[in-house]
Chain A
Amino acid sequence: MPTILKGKAHREIASLHPAIKIHCTDSRHVELEDRRTGFHLSCASEAVLFNEEGTATDELLSMLRQLGFLNDMPTEALRACQRPFRLQLQEELRNETLTEFLHFAKSDVPFYARDSRYDAEHIQHVADLGRLPVLTKKDLRENFDALLARSADVSGGFASGRYRIARTSGTTDERIQVISDLTVDQVPPDFERVWALSLDGRTPKTAILTSPLCSATECHLGRSPIEKRIHNDIVLNLNSTEDLFGAPEALTRNIVEELWSFRPEILFVNPVYLMWIGREAQRLGLELPKVDLILASYQYMSTIHRRALAAIFGAPVYNSYSATELAGCMLGVECKNGKWHVYENHSVVEITDGGEGMHPSDIGPVIVTVVAGRLMPLIRYDTGDLARFVDEDCDCPLSDWRCFEFHGRQKDVLRFGGRNFTTRQVDDLISSACGIDFYRCLQDGESSLTVDVIPSPGMTADRQEIEDCLRSGLPVDRVTVRQVSRFNPEPSMKFRLTARSDTTGGRNGY
């Protein structure tokens, strides 16, 4: 039996360096945190780490020195020193979680159990996942029952309100209905520090604004009273519209009124919807309540909207990344440093086109294995999105979660001169132009682009500037810029920033 350390050992460790915080210790097990970098170390050793007098053994001291715990150096250098260990530990944890999940899925989910290709025994590492097939929306549609875990008490979940039907509307290849687990925690650990909030431990109230939902139980088109749209006193679904750019004044007034009445700390929004409503509120001279944070989701957020929303609402704007098909689990989250992290408590992400030739930092399809999924577990699901991993260190509390760069939908990629251009790449170009509130870039020929623009109030679209911005990065022969007063949504009620017309033909390499 390991000896329970007394106060002397605590003092001994604390005396090694003032930045070390002790969480828990006994003679063979120690949990330490380096307060300068947030590096949290849980160490269980077969060797004795402390002798009976409570003095750290050479083994422990050597380990702490190697990890930089005892070093005095600038924080940045210290982080760089500790990073390889952190990455290694996170990778081990990721692989452990993955293998445990795969065994669960193989034994508890009929879809995987009956398919010999899902051989959990041979997958020990994320890199091995490529041996397994990729799931598509079609698979989800055709295997509604077989993809649900046998152990999931679906009827009990509905009855208790833990589960809810979630669906996407949209074109034939997008429509899907799944059961969503409302109990899955959708905010990251230590979220106050992740997003630089100070809520003093309070659960933040959140108002949601996105495309309309109308179901038997709730309607977001103004037919349900606010009481029916408030859940557990902390979430309000704001009314929406099927015609955003033609929405009546009354909708904006209703949303502003409900925001004042509910006083959310967080707005969780489709950025296009909030941008229009915020702009309309300003036009109508309606004062907006201050919020602490805006989380954008549902579709790619343009830098134009990020800037404008921050200005209109006086709050930081970050992205939250999930998908209906993930049944309540998260894919990624953007922290206060503007870095997108894989939500590793829920998801293992691969960025791969299935081929051998991809470099680890290339842009590619986002394939997710939802390791937190215990209701409809997904192994290697193709999200239809594009991203690339970036080897960056981030000093937020999610430091150990891999960073990536989100690039939008695969189907929204433009292709000029044999090269692909993602929504992000196009947005980076156009968002440097001034005076734009909304835009859509439509590739309507092999080398031609039509850009529809709604300028900021009181401004006229500077066609030349927009064209110059786009030409600086896109090999196009013709750019046509048109000023418009509205955009029509997709069948999913979202608004694409980039798209290819049917006449351009062919598929991109993704």
Chain B
Amino acid sequence: MDIEIRQDFPVLRRQLSGRPIVYLDSAATTLKPLAVLDEERRYSTDFTANVHRGKHLLSEEASDAYESARRKVAEFLSVSPSVVCFTRNATEAITTVARGLGLSKSDKVLLPINEHHSNILPWMREASLVWIEQHPEEPLDLAAVVSALERERPRVLTFSTTSNVTGATNPGAEICRAARQLGVLTCVDASQTTPHEEVSVPALGCDFMAFSGHKMLGPTGIGVLTGTPEALDRLEPLILGGGTVERVTTSGYALRPLPYRLEAGTPNISGAIGLAAAVDYLTTIGFENIRSHQVRLTARLQAVLSDIKGCRPLMACKGSGVPIGALAMPQRHFSLDDVAVSLSENFGVMARSGFFCAHPLIERLGISGSLLRLSAYIYNSDEDIQHFHRAMNTIMHRMS
């Protein structure tokens, strides 16, 4: 699978430090295959027009392509197209929920410590946060979640199905079921899950779910908010404007049904088309194939991260098939930012250093400096991980 797929990604043709680049930063954004780039470009070259409000040919074609993209994504999520709301990204989708529920500071929102800021800050602004006690590197323990739900009786439970730092994958369906039994709304950030597996929203059983297109081979600037019709319908739109209303009078307005009421203004049409192309691309490869590839890479990455002297690996051990993991470095004579630059400039390895928008997690882990994160995807091979391993050993051998 590796060789055939690599050819689809133009960025991987680039050479750096005398060899093709090794891209290990897919948790931040994935590379785009030609199939996605071509479809996205087709909107600009073949049928540029605004959607929905035109009757001419180009507008019809653009509307068809946009709605067709929605149907494709709906099929991927096993939901009706009417509950696929296109947003800019997962952050905007979660903010739409946090803002739209009409929460107040007396409302509690329960969440794990290892969430991305985009699933913390929207809630922090609207309500009072209650953190679930858990092992910060491992998946959520169902019993701990249930206990917290029963104790705190929050209005909302929000969590990511996969951690963007450790790859820890949570038992989403079980958690959502437990929350629903207690009448707690659930919001799932699936940004790090949708690249790796087909997500059935009904099977997951959440009220809201958000993800970003660019983390699953799609374009940047396109994301999705989905969920149950009832839950989505109760959201006050984050933004009002063209496309969200049936009619406007001098004294009021009537909102359109879902999904349009949550899509104000001209949408990212080419982005939605590109996202659908990404879904097609992944579906064609087959999520079973992707799964086995990713499980293999996860095992390799776990072994490699555990073998870097002078660093502490941060990667879920239990049940994760997502190759995302990080390194912390206790000594401070040089930083993992420096290591990331060296990996890039001297070895052609693109890995991200920093805090990955997960400050509460880093604080809980008791780490003061930057981390180095490795995240592999379908275009990576075992050799890529080994190349990283050799490069890292060389750097660490010299520096520490």
The 8 Å CB contact of B400, one of A145, A148, A155, A216, is A155
Assess whether A177 is in contact with B338, with CB atoms less than 8 Å apart: yes
Q: Which residues of A contact B147 (CB under 8 A)?
A: none
Assess whether B398 is in contact with A148, with CB atoms less than 8 Å apart: yes
The 8 Å CB contact of B346, one of A154, A177, A217, is A177
- List 29 A–B pairs whose Cβ atoms lie within 8 Å, in order of A's numbering: A141-B16, A141-B17, A141-B346, A142-B17, A142-B18, A142-B346, A144-B345, A144-B346, A144-B394, A144-B395, A145-B346, A145-B394, A145-B395, A148-B398, A155-B333, A158-B333, A158-B334, A158-B399, A165-B335, A165-B338, A175-B345, A176-B345, A177-B342, A177-B345, A177-B346, A216-B335, A216-B336, A216-B337, A217-B335
Task: Give min CB distance, B152 to chain A, whole Å.
Answer: 36
The 8 Å CB contact of A145, one of B332, B337, B398, is B398
Q: A151-180: contact bitstring with B at CB < 8 Å (1 yes, 0 no)?
A: 000110011000001010000000111000
How long is the Cα–Cα vector from A115 to B347 in the complex, in angstroms? Answer: 20
Q: A382-420: contact bitstring with B at CB < 8 Å (1 yes, 0 no)?
A: 000000000000000000000000000000000000000
Given A144-B394, A145-B394, A176-B345, residue A215 in contact with residue B337 (CB < 8 A): yes
Which residues in window 321-350 of B have CB below 8 A to A? 332-338, 341-342, 345-347
Measured CB to CB, the nearest residue on chain A to B394 is A145
Most A Cβ at <10 Å: residue of B18, B338, B369? B338
Given A145-B346, A158-B399, A216-B369, 15 more pairs with CB closer than 8 A: A141-B345, A142-B346, A144-B395, A145-B394, A145-B398, A148-B398, A154-B398, A154-B399, A155-B398, A167-B341, A177-B342, A177-B346, A216-B338, A216-B370, A217-B335
Task: Give min CB distance, B367 to chain A, whole Å.
Answer: 12
Q: Which residues of A contact B341 (CB under 8 A)?
A: 165, 167, 177
Q: Identify the B interface with A (CB < 8 A).
A: 16-18, 332-338, 341-342, 345-347, 369-370, 394-395, 398-400
How long is the Cα–Cα vector from A175 to B350 in the complex, in angstroms? Answer: 14
How long is the Cα–Cα vector from A158 to B398 in the complex, in angstroms? Answer: 10
Q: Which residues of A contact B347 (CB under 8 A)?
A: 144
Q: Identify the A interface with B (CB < 8 A).
A: 138, 141-142, 144-145, 148, 154-155, 158-159, 165, 167, 175-177, 215-217
Task: Give min CB distance, A161 to chain B, whole Å.
Answer: 8
How long is the Cα–Cα vector from A215 to B16 in the complex, in angstroms? Answer: 23
How long is the Cα–Cα vector from A141 to B398 in the complex, in angstroms? Answer: 15
Task: Give min CB distance, A215 to chain B, whole Å.
Answer: 6
How long is the Cα–Cα vector from A158 to B335 in the complex, in angstroms? Answer: 11
Task: Give min CB distance, A163 to chain B, whole Å.
Answer: 9
How long is the Cα–Cα vector from A216 to B332 in the complex, in angstroms? Answer: 9
Q: Which residues of A contact B342 (CB under 8 A)?
A: 144, 177
How long is the Cα–Cα vector from A174 to B232 in the complex, in angstroms? Answer: 50
Given A142-B18, A175-B345, residue A155 in contact with residue B399 (CB < 8 A): yes
Q: Which residues of B contact A154 (CB under 8 A)?
A: 398-399
How long is the Cα–Cα vector from A167 to B332 in the complex, in angstroms? Answer: 18
Q: Which residues of B contact A177 (CB under 8 A)?
A: 338, 341-342, 345-346
How long is the Cα–Cα vector from A167 to B341 in the complex, in angstroms? Answer: 9
Q: Which residues of B contact A141 (CB under 8 A)?
A: 16-17, 345-346
Inter-chain CB contacts under 8 Å: number: 54
Q: Which residues of B contact A176 (CB under 8 A)?
A: 345
Q: Which residues of A contact B334 (CB under 8 A)?
A: 158, 165
Q: Which residues of A contact B335 (CB under 8 A)?
A: 165, 215-217
How long is the Cα–Cα vector from A45 to B35 in the complex, in angstroms? Answer: 81
How long is the Cα–Cα vector from A177 to B334 in the complex, in angstroms? Answer: 13
Q: Which residues of A contact B394 (CB under 8 A)?
A: 144-145
Q: Which residues of B contact A217 (CB under 8 A)?
A: 332, 335
How long is the Cα–Cα vector from A159 to B18 in the complex, in angstroms? Answer: 31
Task: Give min CB distance, B339 to chain A, whole Å.
Answer: 9
Task: Give min CB distance, B126 to chain A, whole Å.
Answer: 29
Q: Which residues of A contact B16 (CB under 8 A)?
A: 141
How long is the Cα–Cα vector from A159 to B400 in the complex, in angstroms? Answer: 8
How long is the Cα–Cα vector from A155 to B398 in the complex, in angstroms? Answer: 6
How long is the Cα–Cα vector from A142 to B19 in the complex, in angstroms? Answer: 9
Q: Which residues of A contact B345 (CB under 8 A)?
A: 141, 144, 175-177
How long is the Cα–Cα vector from A306 to B13 in the complex, in angstroms? Answer: 46
Task: Give min CB distance, A287 to chain B, whole Å.
Answer: 38
How long is the Cα–Cα vector from A148 to B342 in the complex, in angstroms? Answer: 14
Shortest beta-carbon contacts, A-B, top 9: A216-B335, A144-B346, A158-B333, A165-B338, A177-B341, A142-B17, A142-B18, A216-B337, A145-B394
Most B Cβ at <10 Å: residue of A154, A165, A175? A165
Q: Which residues of B contact A215 (CB under 8 A)?
A: 335, 337-338
How long is the Cα–Cα vector from A145 to B338 in the complex, in angstroms? Answer: 15
How long is the Cα–Cα vector from A282 to B336 in the complex, in angstroms? Answer: 41
Measured CB to CB, the nearest residue on chain A to B347 is A144
How long is the Cα–Cα vector from A215 to B354 in the complex, in angstroms? Answer: 11
How long is the Cα–Cα vector from A215 to B334 in the complex, in angstroms? Answer: 10
Measured CB to CB, the nearest residue on chain A to B368 is A216
How long is the Cα–Cα vector from A165 to B335 in the complex, in angstroms? Answer: 9
Task: Give min CB distance, B140 to chain A, whole Å.
Answer: 31
Measured CB to CB, the nearest residue on chain B to A169 is B341
Q: Which residues of A contact B332 (CB under 8 A)?
A: 217
Q: Which residues of A contact B395 (CB under 8 A)?
A: 144-145
Task: Give min CB distance, A265 to chain B, whole Å.
Answer: 31
Q: Which residues of B contact A175 (CB under 8 A)?
A: 345
The 8 Å CB contact of B333, one of A142, A148, A159, A167, is A159
How long is the Cα–Cα vector from A215 to B337 in the complex, in angstroms? Answer: 7
Task: Give min CB distance, A137 to chain B, whole Å.
Answer: 10
How long is the Cα–Cα vector from A509 to B333 in the complex, in angstroms? Answer: 44
How long is the Cα–Cα vector from A142 to B395 in the complex, in angstroms? Answer: 13
Task: Give min CB distance, B40 to chain A, whole Å.
Answer: 25
Most A Cβ at <10 Å: residue of B332, B341, B395? B341
How long is the Cα–Cα vector from A158 to B338 in the complex, in angstroms? Answer: 12
Task: Give min CB distance, B362 to chain A, whole Å.
Answer: 13
How long is the Cα–Cα vector from A254 to B42 in the complex, in angstroms? Answer: 51
Task: Give min CB distance, B388 to chain A, whole Å.
Answer: 15
How long is the Cα–Cα vector from A323 to B332 in the complex, in angstroms? Answer: 26
Task: Give min CB distance, B328 to chain A, whole Å.
Answer: 12
Q: Which residues of B contact A144 (CB under 8 A)?
A: 342, 345-347, 394-395
Task: Give min CB distance, B392 to chain A, whole Å.
Answer: 12
Q: Which residues of B contact A145 (CB under 8 A)?
A: 346, 394-395, 398
Measured CB to CB, the nearest residue on chain B to A146 is B394
How long is the Cα–Cα vector from A199 to B143 in the complex, in angstroms? Answer: 72
Measured CB to CB, the nearest residue on chain B to A155 is B400
Task: Give min CB distance, A139 to chain B, whole Å.
Answer: 10
Q: Which residues of A contact B346 (CB under 8 A)?
A: 141-142, 144-145, 177
Q: Which residues of B contact A155 (CB under 8 A)?
A: 333, 398-400
How long is the Cα–Cα vector from A270 to B29 in the complex, in angstroms? Answer: 36
How long is the Cα–Cα vector from A176 to B346 in the complex, in angstroms? Answer: 8
Task: Give min CB distance, A177 to chain B, whole Å.
Answer: 5
How long is the Cα–Cα vector from A144 to B349 in the complex, in angstroms? Answer: 14
Q: Which residues of B contact A142 (CB under 8 A)?
A: 17-18, 346
Q: Which residues of A contact B337 (CB under 8 A)?
A: 215-216
How long is the Cα–Cα vector from A148 to B341 in the complex, in angstroms? Answer: 17
How long is the Cα–Cα vector from A141 to B18 in the complex, in angstroms? Answer: 9
How long is the Cα–Cα vector from A27 to B250 in the complex, in angstroms? Answer: 111
Task: Give min CB distance, A303 to chain B, whole Å.
Answer: 35
Q: Which residues of B contact A165 (CB under 8 A)?
A: 334-335, 338, 341
How long is the Cα–Cα vector from A141 to B17 in the complex, in angstroms? Answer: 6
Task: Give min CB distance, B157 to chain A, whole Å.
Answer: 35
